[in-house]
Amino acid sequence: MQVWRRLLPALVVTLLALQGAASHAQRAASSAAGIYTCTDERGRKITSDRPIPECNARVQQVLNSDGSVREVRAPTPTADEVAEIEALKRAEAERQAAQKDAVRRDRNLMHRYKTDAAHQKAREAALDSVRVAIKGTKARQEELLKERRPLLDESEFYKGKPLPGKLKGQLDANDAALEAQRAAANTQQAELDRINRIYDAELSRLRALWAGATPGSLGPLPPAPPSVRP
């Protein structure tokens, strides 16, 4: 018992020292964590050593131990706001992807065509097949018109009278064939125009790129008109 009494003062001192150290550590941790403060929806100022749930929808300040502002925390977004943020992120990702595509497309265009002459050669190659088809259509129209002349001459003998069935059938077949060739000619001319519009747009872009425009800075090319080949 006497030994215990002699040791008791030393134990008390040790316990007080440990408590002091723990208190100091707690204050240091609190200082490191910062002091959270905000004004709730009723105008009350709230202070805490951790984020304040009552102010999730409001701005919270994190203060240093000297009262200076360390950080300003934005309100926690609502579900609708989260959805809007995600939509904006997707839109931005799509914009960036489109921009990369535009840069790649312009660089590919410059790599494929280094001069006006190279581009014109490609245009002519694309037009050649349509020109051949147009030539064939015109030749067929001329053949049909030649075939029609004797039929019309023969029909002169039947003025004011019904045409014989065979003659009428031949004229009707010739009419239908000529109409089909006229439609084909219109389609072929439209295809010729379509190809030229595509190459015109490319050439305008190429000239700007050759002059120093940054790839991807010229906006999208006009959408290619749909093919009108029959």
Ordered by start, the domain boundaries in the chain are 34-76, 100-210
pLDDT value for 34: 85
Distances (CA, A) of 31 to 6, 36, 68, 190: 39, 11, 12, 78
Looking at the predicted structure, is the pLDDT value of residue 79 above 90? no
Question: What's the token pair of residue 49?
Answer: 């050593």
Which range has highest mean pLDDT (11-20, 46-55, 193-202)? 193-202
Q: Please report which helix (H) or strand (E) contains residue 73, including its range.
A: strand 69-73
Question: What's the token pair of residue 200?
Answer: 């015109």
Q: For residues 230 and 227, give the distance between their C-alpha atoms in angstroms, rounded to a whole number.
A: 9
Return the number of other C-beta atoms located less than 10 Å from residue 38's C-beta. Answer: 20
**pLDDT tens digits, 16-54:** 444 444 444 344 444 456 899 999 888 899 999 999 898
* AA identity, residue 162: P
Residues 6+ apart with CB under 8 A from 192: 127, 130, 131, 134
Q: Is the pTM of this model over 0.75?
A: no
- pLDDT-wise least confident of 64-68, 92-96, 223-227: 223-227
Contact by Cβ (8 Å): 167, 151 = yes
DSSP category for residue 229:
-
94: confidence class by pLDDT, cuts 50, 70, 90 = very high
